[in-house]
Each structure stands twice: as structure tokens, then as C-alpha cells.
Amino acid sequence: MARAAAQTDYYNTDRGRPVQIEDAYATERYAFELKLAPARVEWMAGEGVASWDLEPEIAYGLLPRTHVEVGVPIAFTTTGLGGQRSGVAGVELSVMHNLNVETRTLPALGLRADLLAPVGPLAPDRTYATFTGMLTRTYRPLRIHLNGQITAGAAPRAAASGPLLNLAPTDAPAANTEGLSRWLAGVAVDKTFPLHSLLLTADFLARQPLLRSGDDLELDAGAGIRLQLSPTLALDLGVGRRVDSGDGPWYATFGTAYSFGLRSLMPGGGR
């Protein structure tokens, strides 16, 4: 069962793989999805690479339409004074539930809760909880996804001390808080090509970064592909940039996902 489900893994978009906005579906029950070192590289126009990170994750379909997930982000970033920092940037725990299967009258709806714990030298100084709602609607030519997200918790203390470029390396906020949003809202569209096990997608989102206050608003756009290489292995590539700023930054993502099942965890598997 898990092997058959894995053959359509290209059809399911995840957060950041290849774009930020995702569909409302969870990992199939009893299936594991091992996300093998998904990477994100970010850079400013004409300034070279500013940061990149890896976030190996594993998800398991624990209940019908419900999965749990554990991830360990590892960040590599530069500071405003030319220094470099690298290390574990927290531990992420996630639970996602797909409320319903899409019908002719109702879209698919999903909810996810994420917890980012302060583990590692580049982790935030406190625990953050993020809550996301997802909607997916399928039409004959394409699918549409809507996401809304909110993060609870005060901004990192170092963020209030001045612009990031003026901070000393020891005063800079944790690297893994730079991607957190006080709130986020976005839309994505995708087109599948089943005969080629290929999906093309693009998204647009607005967010207020947790590291900034007041009316600061960031607009981002991205596009990507997801390709099934084998019954158990999928590949995704993405690229995007901040569109409300002439300098970017730009980003690129790359990831692979290996899906599998353990017979001993399936009903009757131990017989």
C-alpha cells in the first residue's frame, strides 16, 4: 500500500518543496517519507550567497489523513561584519491533519501545528508555535491552494537592538528565526502531467517577518517542479525572490523525498 502511494508522491506539495505554499494533504497512513537533506540557498543580487540551510525531516502517517513529522534544521549564514556561523538551528515537531477529502462541492481542508524548540547554537532563544490552515481545490486544468499562517511568541530579543547588518556576530538573532512569519497568507497554482510523473507549480505570498515590527510587509514569488524518479523517490527544484524589493533576496531550493513502508507497522504485518 505504501509503495503504491509513493508512486504519486510528485502530486503532493510540501512546505518549501518546491514552493512555500502547500496542498492540504497529509502523508498516507502507515507510510514514511524521508526528506533527504532538502536545501535552501539565499543570496542578494551582486553580493553572493548570504545563507543556506539543510533540513532533514521524516514524516509518518500515524492516523487516517494525519501525519507527524520531525526535522532538524542546520544553518550556514554570514553576519553583517563578514563573520560566518553554522550549526543546528532547532528541532521542529509537526502534526498535520487533512480534515476531508475533496468533493465536487467542498475543497480539501488541512490544519498543521509546528513547534520549533531552542536546540542548537543557531536556534531561537525561545520556543515558537506556528499554526497553518490549508485549502486545496482541483479543477480540470490545474489545482489552487490557499494557505494562512500565524506564529505565536515574542520576537527574538536581539532583533530589537538594531538593523541586522549592524549587529556583531554574537548579537545577531538566531538564523532560524529569519524565516518565521508573524503571519503569512498566500496562493499557489500547480499543473500535473501524470504520464511524466511531473508537477509544475508557482506561488505568491505576503508575510510579516517575525524579526520586524510595525507595518513591514514582505511579498515573495516562486516557482518550481516536482518529479517522480522512481516508485519511491521524488525530486523537487524551486526558485524565487522577494518582489517588493529591487535587490531581492533571491532563493533556490532543492530536495529529494524517499517514501517507504514497514510491513511490521501495518495491520496484520506482524503475523
pLDDT tens string 45-70: 777 667 889 999 999 999 999 999 99
The Cα-based distances of 82 to 47, 125, 169, 194 in angstroms read: 12, 23, 9, 47
CATH classification of the domain holding 151: 2.40.160.40
> What pLDDT does residue 19 have?
95
Provide the number of structural domains found in the chain.
1
Q: What is the pLDDT of residue 37?
A: 78
Strand runs labelled E in the chain: 31-44, 48-54, 57-63, 66-71, 74-78, 84-88, 91-98, 108-117, 128-138, 143-152, 181-193, 198-209, 218-228, 233-242, 250-261
| Number of other residues whose CB lies within 10 A of the CB of residue 66 | 17
What pLDDT is attached to residue 205? Answer: 98
Q: Is the residue at 221 inside a domain?
A: yes
| Residue 246 CB contacts under 8 Å (≥ 6 apart), including other chains | none
- How many whole angstroms separate alpha carbon 9 and alpha carbon 53? 23
256 lies in a domain?
yes
Ramachandran region of residue 178, left (φ > 0), alpha (ψ -120 to 50) or beta?
alpha
Residues 127, 153: Cα–Cα separation, whole Å: 8
β-strand pairing of 57-63 with 31-44 = antiparallel
- Nearest alpha-carbon partner for 20 in 174, 192, 242: 242
Which amino acid does the sequence have at 183?
A: W
Q: Is residue 102 part of a domain?
A: yes
214, part of any domain: yes
Spell out, as residue ranges, where the chain has pLDDT lower than 50: 1-6, 159-171
Candidates 128, 66, 131, 64; CA nearest to 91 is 128
Q: What pLDDT is attached to residue 213? A: 53
At 175, the amino acid letter reads: A
Planar angle of CA 174, 180, 183, nearest 5 degrees? 150
Q: How would you classify residue 253: left for phi > 0, otherwise alpha for psi between -120 and 50, otherwise beta? A: beta
Residue 148 lies in a domain: yes
In 3D space, the residue among 20, 39, 24, 41 whose CA is nearest the CA of residue 205 turns out to be 20
pTM of the model: 0.87
Distance CA 175, CA 74 (A): 9
Read out DSSP for 62-88?
EETTEEEEEE--EEEEE-TTS-EEEEE
- The confidence score (pLDDT) of residue 10 equals 86
64: containing domain: 2-262
Q: How far apart are CA 160 and CA 174, in angstroms?
A: 13
- The answer to whether residue 271 is domain-embedded is no
Is 166 inside a domain boundary? yes
Residue 7: its pLDDT value, please?
A: 59
What is d(CA 31, CA 238) in angstroms, rounded to the nearest whole number? 25
Q: Is residue 270 part of a domain?
A: no
